[in-house]
Amino acid sequence: MEFTSSFLQFQRRSTREILIQNPWTQLKLGGDNPIVYQSMITSDTLDTEACVQQTLGLAQAGCQLVRITAQTVRHAANLEHIAKALRDQGCYVPLVADIHFKPEAAMEAARWVEVVRVNPGNYADSKKFKIREYTDEQYREELERIESKFAPLVELCKKLKRVIRIGTNHGSLSDRIMNRFGDTPLGMVESALEFANIARKLDFHQFKFSMKSSNPKVMIGCYRLLVARLRELGPDWNYPIHLGVTEAGDGEDGRVKSAIGIGALLCDGLGDTIRVSLTEDAPNEIPVCRELLEQIPTLTQSEAPYGQGPSFDPYVYSRRSSCEVSLHTHVPCGGDQTIRVFGHGDQSRRYPVKVSEPSAIQVEASTEHERVLFLDLMQDHWDLPSEPVMVSVADGTDLPVITAYRLLASRLQAQSCHFPILLKDTFDPESEMASSAALLRSSVNLGALLCDGIGDAIWVRNERDVAKAVPLAYTILQAAGCRSFKTDYVACPSCGRTLFDLQSVTAGIKERTGHLTGVKVAIMGCIVNGPGEMADADFGYVGGAPGKINLYVGKKQVKVNIPQAEAVDRLIDLIKEHGKWQEPQVSSC
């Protein structure tokens, strides 16, 4: 089962073209068409004027597809007025209704907007985290029940020439799927295919898939597995897919995490639409989408000299096996050790090694003092030493970074060599680029390889500002789930369902908890993806009702209906109660 013909030669996945249209415009998605970028407004869907103004702002920023939540029939009905007001003002950008829990809301929304997004995990199922064993007959009965709920929407969308997005989320798989397949990429894929089979049974093909997660490793594995399953099912299962890392957060963290997940898959040739989900004003997402897409041709153009298969499992993360070496700083690298941060002289002097402070931002090995073999991938044979040593790819290599290191790992595997690998984000140390571009390029190159399980140390060189390069290396490691040096946040990007101001609340929680190394906090505006998406978080802060917050430990709700004014204090009390609290260090300056 394969999702691509080659791990070393870029080829965009061939998909069928679907048409998103209204009387004024057509948006072609898939096929040979450019990748579409989209976003989502955050206003209450019942506030027509606010929704119109936010949509106009997104369209002006270049957004090609705008999503609006529709949590009830009443909200869905107001899409008529939003769409009319936009068209009256000459804005024809297609609209997507975001549906959770309410099939009747989807039926209403389909009358007014061009695309309806449904989540198979909660469209016809409720999530109660119940454990139940299903016989095959009971499971078939459940599928028949789901078809009775979903088929009417398919028939209506077929009649009105609408498009459906079948969008599974890691955090909201149904209990039925969880009990049969577990909380796994396979569960996400099978959940989506159940709905796709219903659509195909009714001869409806105007749909696309999405497989979103807040964890880039999970997200990458899900999409690869989905495409592999579609290839296995046959050439007419070539439906377009939408890429996104959900709940990526804000600032540099959100951009890095999104670049890793989305960028890795774009470099695999996958993806027909993308969204960078930031806990910021929605128009901020569009320049990141645009700049990320601009990077891909540079990161993928290659003529790979060998055709080996991958040295890693593309569907399930596993770190490449390597032997351990001792660095000049007496820090061990490789084997089971954490992934290290290398740097050149200026970087080392700015962030000197602090062995006694493992969570501090530091250069753990200077490239001027370490023995690293920089290998020429064009050579047919390497004379490798008998003693373990760090290896990397030589500068000037005329291959994209991801291709080069995949090839290096494959060739080392073929020689039964387990030397640890140093990843570089560029083979051109003289290249100059803006910091925003360097951040995205380094994140894609290094993050994609780390999510493949390749790499024992990383070296950021695209970012020429020494003060930014080393912290960026640590941010990439944390976003890829390889190392923790600060508090990790799972923060949704807000929408019309959100029950509090996500940006201000997220900033406040970060201010109070940002010093908690190794602690993961989820900040969720509502319950849609709450307990499931934050299941691997230590603590959760979730909107339960207007002005009320529910607190979680993992996916277990432990405090309910706490007034928002005191919720952050109660969250900190919960962290202390579970032994995760540390007092912030007070500067002596």
Amino acid 306: pLDDT: 57
Judge residue 232's burial from the number of C-beta atoms within 10 Å of its C-beta, 0-12 exposed, 13-18 middle, 19 or more buried: exposed
Amino acid 448: pLDDT: 97
Average pLDDT over residues 87-105: 95
- Which fold would CATH assign to domain 18-300? TIM Barrel (3.20.20)
The domain ranges of the chain are 18-300, 324-479, 488-577
569 Cβ contact partners less than 8 Å away, ≥ 6 residues apart:
none
Amino acid 130: pLDDT: 66
Instruction: Report the run of H or E that residue 257 belongs to, with start and end.
Output: helix 251-267
pTM of the model: 0.92
pLDDT, tens digit, 9 for 90 and up, residues 294-352: 999 989 876 655 556 788 999 999 999 999 999 988 899 999 999 999 999 999 999 99
In the structure, what pLDDT confidence band is assigned to residue 557 with cuts at 50, 70 and 90?
Answer: confident
In the structure, what pLDDT confidence band is assigned to residue 91 with cuts at 50, 70 and 90?
Answer: very high
DSSP helix/strand/coil, 400 = coil
DSSP string, 188-256: HHHHHHHHHHHHHHTT---EEEEEEBSSHHHHHHHHHHHHHHHHHH-GGG---EEEEETTB-SHHHHHH
Q: Is the pLDDT of residue 190 over 80?
A: yes
Amino acid 588: pLDDT: 45
Amino acid 139: pLDDT: 87
Q: Closest Cα to residue 187, out of 532, 540, 495?
A: 532
**pLDDT over 90, % of the chain:** 67
In the structure, what pLDDT confidence band is assigned to residue 486 with cuts at 50, 70 and 90?
Answer: confident
Average pLDDT over residues 479-497: 81
pLDDT, tens digit, 9 for 90 and up, residues 10-29: 889 999 999 999 999 999 99
Domain 488-577 belongs in CATH node 1.20.140.10: no
Amino acid 440: pLDDT: 97
Q: Is the pLDDT of residue 92 over 50?
A: yes
Q: Is the pLDDT of residue 140 over 60?
A: yes
Amino acid 125: pLDDT: 75
Average pLDDT over residues 269-291: 94
Amino acid 464: pLDDT: 94
CA separation for the pair 455, 458 (Å, rounded): 7
